[in-house]
Amino acid sequence: MNKNEIEMFANIKVVGVGGGGCNAVNRMIGAGVKGVEFWSVNTDLQVLNVSLADHKLQIGMELTKGLGGGAMPAVGEQAAKENKEDLENALNGADMVFVTGGMGGGTGTGAAPVIAKIAKEAGALTIGVVTKPFRFEGPVRLKQAEAGVEKLREQVDALIVIPNDKLLQVVDRMTSMVDAFKIADDVLRQGVQGIADLITVPGLINLDFADVKSIMKNSGSAMMGIGRASGENRAVEAAEKAISSPILEETIVGATGVIFNITGGEDMSLHEVHDAADIIYGSVDTEANIVFGSVVDERLKDEIVITVIATGFKKNANTGQNQEKAFYFQSIESDNESKVVADTEETETNTTVEKEEAPTFLDTEEIKVIDTEVETNKEKEFMNGDLDVPAFLRNLN
């Protein structure tokens, strides 16, 4: 996608804040996410020096002297305020801003709400995509994360929260701590890319920034799922996968705002679109505002990919089926670029994840999926080194 093509779409900026956020941005760039402008923002100069982003901003230089936030959110907050004018200039002209990072430490937790506030005050649709720490990181870090999430929620239009502990449901018990953090970073990447692709990939029934904005503006909590399937019942299976997963905080049940896109080859039929829509309609509020789009992609051949964004949750909502749903992601590598899709089986307690259905955020990090018979294929990581480890493990943040 060249510069002129990008300018046809909304001006989308992705801001990775702190160690986790900067790692997530690196993974997005490595995965070939197109049509967005990447920013890495950190107090930690060491992390910024290895960032793949074209745009980097060191905050709090006078405050931290180039080191991390010391696991103190107040330091991250003050650092962002110290560079408020620089942040305003960085976000100038954006139609949509993603603020992504890991909650619980210093820079990400403290600076993310400040950055989100600046973005929203500038008129941008502001989306937060963040993780909450693993339980083994301790009660102090978890408490800081909860406080940071609530502060961020006040400053964004929509917020997607990923509790890292839920990743334990889909990875092997022998997964190392370093690899666990890599997985969490990549889930952030997939959450952002899934939404951005809706806007930047043109379709037969097109979805654009206005559609996404109508559903996500001032919506509060949000969820996003992507499902992929092939075969005779591919549309139904893809829809079920898009709304079914163990790892996110919110579920699609009771959503009052929904945007979904169905992508398939030239053989995708009207009946398949209808069947997939029925699955989604049956899980949301009976009076939900639903926006639909469709893309024909010859590269998919026998496959159908469905992306769902749901917002506007309310308790005791009337739904077509009274069953809790959630979601997770998987990515497919094409010849020219990476597209995010989901590929999961419906999950029950103690159910194993099959090799071919393992989410890519497990495959790409060489993590063994819970399966007694097979191991996932190991793929080359685009980025190595201990900077994938959160800064607090390097005694910097």
pLDDT band for position 201 (cuts 50, 70, 90): confident
Q: Are residues 167 and 249 in the same domain?
A: no
Q: Are residues 68 and 193 in the same domain?
A: yes
Domain containing residue 249: CATH number: 3.30.1330.20
Q: Are residues 118 and 248 in the same domain?
A: no
pLDDT band for position 202 (cuts 50, 70, 90): confident
Residue closest to 108 by CA, chosen among 136, 83, 86, 130: 130
Q: Are residues 34 and 134 in the same domain?
A: yes
Q: Are residues 292 and 317 in the same domain?
A: yes
pLDDT digits (tens, 9 = 90+) for 91-105: 999 999 999 999 999
Which one of 321, 341, 361 terminates a domain? 341
For 348: left if phi > 0, alpha if psi spans -120 to 50, otherwise beta; the answer is beta
- Is residue 196 situated within a structural domain? yes
Look up the pTM and report it. Answer: 0.75
Q: Are residues 123 and 221 in the same domain?
A: no
- Is residue 336 situated within a structural domain? yes
Q: What is the pLDDT of residue 247?
A: 66
Q: Are residues 183 and 262 in the same domain?
A: no
- Is residue 2 situated within a structural domain? no
- Is residue 186 situated within a structural domain? yes
Residue closest to 41 by CA, chosen among 111, 105, 103: 111
Phi, psi (deg, nearest 5) at residue 361? -65, -15
Which one of 147, 165, 200 terminates a domain? 200
Helices (H), 2-98: 3-7, 18-30, 45-49, 61-64, 73-82, 84-91
Which residues are CB-neighbours of 191 under 8 A, at least 6 positions away? 100, 129, 160, 162, 224, 329
pLDDT band for position 392 (cuts 50, 70, 90): very low
- Is residue 394 situated within a structural domain? no
Measured distance CA(40)–CA(29) in Å, rounded: 12
- Is residue 362 situated within a structural domain? no
Which one of 174, 200, 226 terminates a domain? 200
Tell me which residue range forms the domain holding 268. Answer: 209-341
Q: Are residues 78 and 115 in the same domain?
A: yes
**Joined tokens for residue 80:** 């962002």
Q: Are residues 38 and 162 in the same domain?
A: yes
Domain containing residue 49: CATH number: 3.40.50.1440
Q: Are residues 236 and 330 in the same domain?
A: yes
Domain count across the chain: 2
Residue 390 or residue 369, greater confidence: 390
Q: Are residues 150 and 85 in the same domain?
A: yes
- Is residue 367 situated within a structural domain? no
| Single-letter code of the amino acid located at 6 | I
Measured distance CA(249)–CA(326) in Å, rounded: 8
pLDDT digits (tens, 9 = 90+) for 324-373: 333 333 333 333 333 333 333 333 333 333 334 444 333 433 333 333 33
- Is residue 135 situated within a structural domain? yes
Q: Are residues 157 and 231 in the same domain?
A: no
